[in-house]
Amino acid sequence: MWQMSVPWWEFVLRGVVVYLFLLVFMRLSGKRQTGQYEPFDLILLLILSNAVQNSMNAGDNSLVGGLISASTLILLHVALARLAFHFPRIGRWVDGKAQVLIHQGELNQALMRKELLTRDDVEAALRAGGCLHAHEVERATIETNGQITVVLRRRGEDG
């Protein structure tokens, strides 16, 4: 339980490498994958966590090794959050940038393709925002967390 099969620093190094790999991988996969968890997405995350487990712990099942790995991941996350706060450029790279999906009732098809959003995804977001059609929307934005926020046109502004 207390005896580690690899040195402590190897847990730290492995944790850093896996964390950075997953950060880049999740960032490149798009906002939809991180903001709107569906069963398909959750299965991927569960399998991913299992897949990288051995690469982080080198087959070591000791309590100390697990605590070192967990501490490394938490410290990396806190450090990256602080860097992103103090350096907006890093924050934009890590979190992405909000993007306009609908402007003045016009749907941005290219952005839909880029973010792998289906018509059903957009329609569900519109319903959640209190409307049924894109022409009722002043602006719909894909936020950095993957959620779609909708601002409706004021009455009398349609068209």
Q: What is the DSSP string of the chain?
A: ----SS-HHHHHHHHHHHHHHHHHHHHHT-HHHHHS--HHHHHHHHHHHHHHHHHHHTT---HHHHHHHHHHHHHHHHHHHHHHHH-HHHHHHHH---EEEEETTEE-HHHHHHTT--HHHHHHHHHHTT-SSGGGEEEEEE-TTS-EEEEEPPTT---
Q: What is the pLDDT of residues 7-17, one digit of tens each?
A: 899 989 988 99
CA–CA separation, 50 and 28 (whole Å): 20
CA–CA separation, 96 and 143 (whole Å): 9
The answer to pTM > 0.75 is: no
- Does the pLDDT at position 148 exceed 60? yes
Could you tell me which residue, 25 or 32, shows the higher pLDDT?
A: 25
Place of tokens 């080198």: 58
Q: What is the pLDDT of residue 133?
A: 93
Is 99-152 a domain of CATH 3.30.240.20? yes
